[in-house]
Structure 1
Amino acid sequence: MNALLLENQVCFAVHAASRALDGFYRRELAELGLTYPQYLVMLVLWEREPVTVKELGVALRLDSGTLSPLLKRLEAAGHVRRERSASDERSVVVRLTEGGAALRESALRVPEHVLEATGLRMSELADLHRTLGRMTQSLTEAT
Protein backbone atom coordinates (compact mmCIF):
# COMPACT_ATOMS: atom_id res chain seq x y z
CA MET A 1 0.00 0.00 0.00
CA ASN A 2 1.29 3.44 -0.94
CA ALA A 3 0.90 5.54 2.20
CA LEU A 4 0.93 8.80 0.24
CA LEU A 5 -1.86 8.08 -2.24
CA LEU A 6 -4.79 10.41 -1.74
CA GLU A 7 -7.25 7.52 -1.94
CA ASN A 8 -5.48 5.84 1.00
CA GLN A 9 -5.75 8.86 3.32
CA VAL A 10 -8.23 8.54 6.19
CA CYS A 11 -8.22 12.32 6.53
CA PHE A 12 -9.41 12.70 2.95
CA ALA A 13 -12.13 10.05 3.33
CA VAL A 14 -13.42 11.86 6.44
CA HIS A 15 -13.12 15.22 4.68
CA ALA A 16 -15.01 14.01 1.59
CA ALA A 17 -17.74 12.40 3.70
CA SER A 18 -18.02 15.58 5.78
CA ARG A 19 -18.44 17.74 2.68
CA ALA A 20 -21.10 15.41 1.28
CA LEU A 21 -22.91 15.40 4.63
CA ASP A 22 -22.67 19.20 4.86
CA GLY A 23 -24.28 19.54 1.43
CA PHE A 24 -27.09 17.20 2.36
CA TYR A 25 -27.73 18.98 5.66
CA ARG A 26 -27.63 22.37 3.91
CA ARG A 27 -30.55 21.32 1.72
CA GLU A 28 -32.50 19.68 4.55
CA LEU A 29 -32.03 22.55 6.96
CA ALA A 30 -32.87 25.26 4.43
CA GLU A 31 -36.48 24.14 4.77
CA LEU A 32 -36.23 24.86 8.51
CA GLY A 33 -34.47 28.18 7.96
CA LEU A 34 -31.36 26.97 9.79
CA THR A 35 -27.71 26.62 8.93
CA TYR A 36 -25.86 23.52 10.11
CA PRO A 37 -24.15 25.32 13.05
CA GLN A 38 -27.51 26.81 14.06
CA TYR A 39 -29.05 23.33 13.93
CA LEU A 40 -26.36 22.07 16.29
CA VAL A 41 -27.16 24.87 18.77
CA MET A 42 -30.85 24.03 18.53
CA LEU A 43 -30.14 20.34 19.13
CA VAL A 44 -28.41 21.19 22.41
CA LEU A 45 -31.25 23.49 23.43
CA TRP A 46 -33.96 20.96 22.55
CA GLU A 47 -32.09 18.44 24.67
CA ARG A 48 -31.35 20.48 27.77
CA GLU A 49 -32.34 24.12 27.78
CA PRO A 50 -31.70 26.51 29.39
CA VAL A 51 -27.94 26.45 28.90
CA THR A 52 -25.21 29.01 29.31
CA VAL A 53 -23.14 30.18 26.37
CA LYS A 54 -20.17 28.49 28.04
CA GLU A 55 -22.05 25.16 28.25
CA LEU A 56 -23.01 25.46 24.58
CA GLY A 57 -19.38 26.08 23.67
CA VAL A 58 -18.24 22.98 25.53
CA ALA A 59 -20.98 20.80 24.05
CA LEU A 60 -20.32 21.97 20.48
CA ARG A 61 -16.55 22.50 20.78
CA LEU A 62 -16.95 26.13 19.74
CA ASP A 63 -15.54 29.31 21.25
CA SER A 64 -17.69 32.27 22.26
CA GLY A 65 -16.44 34.27 19.26
CA THR A 66 -18.04 31.71 16.98
CA LEU A 67 -21.14 31.18 19.12
CA SER A 68 -22.07 34.84 19.62
CA PRO A 69 -22.93 35.59 15.97
CA LEU A 70 -24.78 32.25 15.71
CA LEU A 71 -26.88 33.06 18.75
CA LYS A 72 -27.48 36.60 17.52
CA ARG A 73 -28.92 35.25 14.24
CA LEU A 74 -31.01 32.64 16.05
CA GLU A 75 -32.34 35.37 18.33
CA ALA A 76 -33.14 37.64 15.35
CA ALA A 77 -35.03 34.72 13.77
CA GLY A 78 -37.10 34.39 16.93
CA HIS A 79 -35.81 30.94 17.95
CA VAL A 80 -33.87 31.80 21.12
CA ARG A 81 -33.44 34.53 23.66
CA ARG A 82 -30.32 35.40 25.61
CA GLU A 83 -30.35 36.85 29.09
CA ARG A 84 -27.89 37.47 31.89
CA SER A 85 -27.94 34.81 34.58
CA ALA A 86 -29.66 35.93 37.77
CA SER A 87 -27.07 34.06 39.84
CA ASP A 88 -23.97 35.20 37.88
CA GLU A 89 -24.02 38.46 35.90
CA ARG A 90 -20.98 37.31 33.87
CA SER A 91 -22.90 34.35 32.50
CA VAL A 92 -25.38 34.49 29.61
CA VAL A 93 -28.21 31.95 29.57
CA VAL A 94 -29.81 30.84 26.30
CA ARG A 95 -33.44 29.74 26.23
CA LEU A 96 -35.78 28.59 23.49
CA THR A 97 -38.65 30.81 22.49
CA GLU A 98 -42.03 29.27 21.81
CA GLY A 99 -41.15 29.32 18.09
CA GLY A 100 -37.78 27.70 18.72
CA ALA A 101 -39.38 24.93 20.74
CA ALA A 102 -42.03 24.40 18.05
CA LEU A 103 -39.33 24.08 15.37
CA ARG A 104 -38.29 20.81 17.00
CA GLU A 105 -41.31 19.02 15.50
CA SER A 106 -40.25 19.95 11.97
CA ALA A 107 -36.66 18.93 12.70
CA LEU A 108 -37.65 15.39 13.71
CA ARG A 109 -37.55 14.33 10.05
CA VAL A 110 -33.91 15.37 9.54
CA PRO A 111 -32.20 12.33 11.17
CA GLU A 112 -34.53 9.99 9.30
CA HIS A 113 -33.69 11.65 5.97
CA VAL A 114 -29.96 11.51 6.79
CA LEU A 115 -30.18 7.79 7.50
CA GLU A 116 -31.98 7.19 4.20
CA ALA A 117 -29.48 9.32 2.26
CA THR A 118 -26.42 7.54 3.65
CA GLY A 119 -27.53 4.18 2.31
CA LEU A 120 -26.43 2.64 5.62
CA ARG A 121 -28.45 0.54 8.02
CA MET A 122 -29.07 2.02 11.45
CA SER A 123 -26.61 -0.45 13.01
CA GLU A 124 -23.91 0.58 10.50
CA LEU A 125 -24.50 4.25 11.23
CA ALA A 126 -24.30 3.55 14.98
CA ASP A 127 -21.00 1.69 14.47
CA LEU A 128 -19.63 4.59 12.41
CA HIS A 129 -20.72 7.05 15.09
CA ARG A 130 -18.89 5.06 17.81
CA THR A 131 -15.77 4.72 15.66
CA LEU A 132 -15.66 8.44 14.87
CA GLY A 133 -16.19 9.24 18.54
CA ARG A 134 -13.24 7.08 19.54
CA MET A 135 -11.12 8.59 16.78
CA THR A 136 -12.03 12.13 17.85
CA GLN A 137 -11.19 11.39 21.47
CA SER A 138 -7.85 9.78 20.59
CA LEU A 139 -6.85 12.61 18.28
CA THR A 140 -7.90 15.22 20.84
CA GLU A 141 -5.77 13.53 23.47
CA ALA A 142 -2.85 13.28 21.02
CA THR A 143 -2.86 17.03 20.40
Structure 2
Amino acid sequence: MDPRDDLLKLENQLCFAIVTAARNVVSIYRPVLEPLGLTHPQYLVMLALWESAPRSLGELADELAMEPATLSPLVKRLEAQGRVTRTRRAADERVLEIALTAEGRALRERALDVPGQVMARTGLDPAALARLRDGLAPFAGAVRV
Protein backbone atom coordinates (compact mmCIF):
# COMPACT_ATOMS: atom_id res chain seq x y z
CA MET A 1 0.00 0.00 0.00
CA ASP A 2 1.34 3.41 -0.98
CA PRO A 3 1.83 5.64 2.11
CA ARG A 4 0.23 8.47 0.16
CA ASP A 5 -3.08 6.57 0.06
CA ASP A 6 -4.08 8.08 3.42
CA LEU A 7 -3.82 11.50 1.82
CA LEU A 8 -6.77 10.62 -0.41
CA LYS A 9 -9.12 9.47 2.35
CA LEU A 10 -12.23 11.60 2.55
CA GLU A 11 -11.82 12.06 6.31
CA ASN A 12 -8.37 13.59 5.73
CA GLN A 13 -9.55 16.20 3.23
CA LEU A 14 -9.50 19.82 4.37
CA CYS A 15 -12.02 20.71 1.66
CA PHE A 16 -14.51 18.14 2.97
CA ALA A 17 -14.16 19.34 6.57
CA ILE A 18 -14.70 22.97 5.56
CA VAL A 19 -17.68 22.24 3.29
CA THR A 20 -19.32 20.08 5.96
CA ALA A 21 -18.66 22.72 8.62
CA ALA A 22 -20.13 25.45 6.38
CA ARG A 23 -23.35 23.45 5.90
CA ASN A 24 -23.58 22.82 9.63
CA VAL A 25 -23.00 26.48 10.48
CA VAL A 26 -25.85 27.50 8.19
CA SER A 27 -28.11 24.90 9.84
CA ILE A 28 -27.19 26.30 13.27
CA TYR A 29 -28.08 29.84 12.18
CA ARG A 30 -31.32 28.90 10.36
CA PRO A 31 -33.61 28.58 13.43
CA VAL A 32 -31.96 31.61 15.07
CA LEU A 33 -32.54 33.82 12.01
CA GLU A 34 -36.00 32.50 11.15
CA PRO A 35 -37.81 34.72 13.72
CA LEU A 36 -36.03 37.72 12.15
CA GLY A 37 -37.30 36.70 8.71
CA LEU A 38 -33.76 36.37 7.38
CA THR A 39 -31.85 33.66 5.57
CA HIS A 40 -28.17 33.26 6.37
CA PRO A 41 -27.03 35.12 3.20
CA GLN A 42 -29.52 37.94 3.92
CA TYR A 43 -28.15 38.15 7.48
CA LEU A 44 -24.65 38.64 6.08
CA VAL A 45 -25.91 41.46 3.84
CA MET A 46 -27.62 43.13 6.79
CA LEU A 47 -24.48 42.80 8.95
CA ALA A 48 -22.44 44.58 6.29
CA LEU A 49 -25.06 47.32 5.91
CA TRP A 50 -25.35 47.82 9.68
CA GLU A 51 -21.62 48.52 9.67
CA SER A 52 -21.76 50.96 6.77
CA ALA A 53 -24.67 52.18 4.67
CA PRO A 54 -25.48 53.33 2.12
CA ARG A 55 -23.03 51.62 -0.15
CA SER A 56 -22.93 50.47 -3.72
CA LEU A 57 -23.91 46.97 -4.76
CA GLY A 58 -20.33 46.47 -6.00
CA GLU A 59 -18.82 47.54 -2.67
CA LEU A 60 -21.20 45.26 -0.81
CA ALA A 61 -20.40 42.35 -3.15
CA ASP A 62 -16.66 42.88 -2.61
CA GLU A 63 -17.00 42.91 1.16
CA LEU A 64 -19.16 39.78 1.17
CA ALA A 65 -16.91 38.00 -1.37
CA MET A 66 -19.89 37.49 -3.67
CA GLU A 67 -20.55 38.20 -7.30
CA PRO A 68 -22.90 41.18 -7.84
CA ALA A 69 -25.17 38.92 -9.91
CA THR A 70 -25.51 36.58 -6.90
CA LEU A 71 -26.00 39.42 -4.43
CA SER A 72 -28.59 41.32 -6.47
CA PRO A 73 -31.50 38.88 -5.91
CA LEU A 74 -30.74 38.83 -2.15
CA VAL A 75 -30.91 42.61 -2.04
CA LYS A 76 -34.15 42.61 -4.07
CA ARG A 77 -35.74 40.25 -1.54
CA LEU A 78 -34.59 42.47 1.34
CA GLU A 79 -36.11 45.43 -0.51
CA ALA A 80 -39.40 43.54 -0.93
CA GLN A 81 -39.35 42.92 2.85
CA GLY A 82 -38.98 46.67 3.42
CA ARG A 83 -35.50 46.42 4.94
CA VAL A 84 -33.39 48.13 2.27
CA THR A 85 -33.78 50.49 -0.64
CA ARG A 86 -32.06 50.29 -4.01
CA THR A 87 -31.54 53.56 -5.85
CA ARG A 88 -29.33 54.76 -8.67
CA ARG A 89 -26.56 57.07 -7.50
CA ALA A 90 -27.28 60.61 -8.73
CA ALA A 91 -23.63 61.29 -9.65
CA ASP A 92 -23.34 58.02 -11.59
CA GLU A 93 -26.53 56.27 -12.76
CA ARG A 94 -24.59 53.04 -13.34
CA VAL A 95 -24.08 52.62 -9.59
CA LEU A 96 -26.84 50.94 -7.61
CA GLU A 97 -26.79 52.19 -4.03
CA ILE A 98 -28.13 50.05 -1.19
CA ALA A 99 -29.41 51.79 1.95
CA LEU A 100 -31.19 50.67 5.09
CA THR A 101 -34.79 51.60 5.74
CA ALA A 102 -36.02 52.45 9.23
CA GLU A 103 -37.24 48.86 9.50
CA GLY A 104 -33.83 47.57 8.41
CA ARG A 105 -32.09 49.70 11.02
CA ALA A 106 -34.56 48.59 13.71
CA LEU A 107 -33.93 44.92 12.88
CA ARG A 108 -30.36 45.36 14.18
CA GLU A 109 -31.67 45.59 17.75
CA ARG A 110 -33.35 42.19 17.43
CA ALA A 111 -30.24 40.73 15.77
CA LEU A 112 -28.11 41.57 18.81
CA ASP A 113 -29.26 38.26 20.32
CA VAL A 114 -28.04 36.17 17.36
CA PRO A 115 -24.38 35.72 18.45
CA GLY A 116 -25.41 34.64 21.96
CA GLN A 117 -27.88 32.13 20.57
CA VAL A 118 -25.23 30.71 18.23
CA MET A 119 -22.80 30.39 21.15
CA ALA A 120 -25.46 28.60 23.19
CA ARG A 121 -26.17 26.17 20.32
CA THR A 122 -22.49 25.40 19.71
CA GLY A 123 -21.25 25.48 23.30
CA LEU A 124 -18.44 27.81 22.24
CA ASP A 125 -17.61 31.03 24.09
CA PRO A 126 -16.53 34.26 22.33
CA ALA A 127 -12.81 33.42 22.66
CA ALA A 128 -13.26 29.94 21.19
CA LEU A 129 -15.34 31.32 18.31
CA ALA A 130 -12.68 33.97 17.63
CA ARG A 131 -9.94 31.31 17.55
CA LEU A 132 -11.98 29.17 15.16
CA ARG A 133 -12.75 32.17 12.90
CA ASP A 134 -9.12 33.32 12.94
CA GLY A 135 -7.94 29.79 12.12
CA LEU A 136 -9.96 29.96 8.90
CA ALA A 137 -8.34 33.25 7.83
CA PRO A 138 -5.89 31.63 5.36
CA PHE A 139 -8.90 30.19 3.51
CA ALA A 140 -11.16 33.23 3.73
CA GLY A 141 -8.75 35.66 2.07
CA ALA A 142 -8.01 36.29 -1.56
CA VAL A 143 -7.70 33.20 -3.73
CA ARG A 144 -4.28 32.75 -5.27
CA VAL A 145 -4.21 30.89 -8.56
Q: Which residue of 2 aligns with 1:108?
A: 112
Say if 2:77 is the partner of 1:73: yes
Specify the SS of the correspondent of 1:78. Answer: coil
Q: Which residue of 2 aligns with 1:131?
A: 135
Specify the SS of the correspondent of 1:62. Answer: coil
CA distance in 1, matches of 2:71, 2:22: 21
Deviation at 1:26, TM superposition (A): 1.3
Q: Which residue of 2 aligns with 1:85?
A: 89
Say if 2:117 is the partner of 1:120: no
Deviation at 1:40, TM superposition (A): 0.7
CA distance in 2, matches of 1:10, 1:119: 23
Instruction: Map residues 1-143 of structure 1 onto 2, 5 A cutoff.
Output: 2-137=6-141, 140-141=143-144, 143=145
Deviation at 1:71, TM superposition (A): 1.0
Partner amino acid for 2:85? R
Deviation at 1:120, TM superposition (A): 2.2
Deviation at 1:118, TM superposition (A): 1.9
Could you report, residue by residue, the CA deviation over 1:43-64 in whole angstroms, capped at 9, with x for unpaired residues?
Answer: 0110001110010110111112
CA distance in 2, matches of 1:6, 1:113: 31
Partner amino acid for 1:67? L
The answer for unaligned runs of 5 or more in structure 1 is none
The answer for unaligned runs of 5 or more in structure 2 is none
Deviation at 1:109, TM superposition (A): 0.8
CA distance in 2, matches of 1:134, 1:6: 21
Could you report, residue by residue, the CA deviation over 1:78-102 in whole angstroms, capped at 9, with x for unpaired residues?
Answer: 0000111122111111110000000
Deviation at 1:122, TM superposition (A): 2.1
TM-score under structure 1 length normalisation: 0.92
CA distance in 2, matches of 1:13, 1:131: 13
CA distance in 2, matches of 1:68, 1:6: 35
* Seq. identity, %: 48
Could you say what the CA RMSD is over the residues aligned between the two structures, in angstroms?
1.4
CA distance in 2, matches of 1:25, 1:97: 24
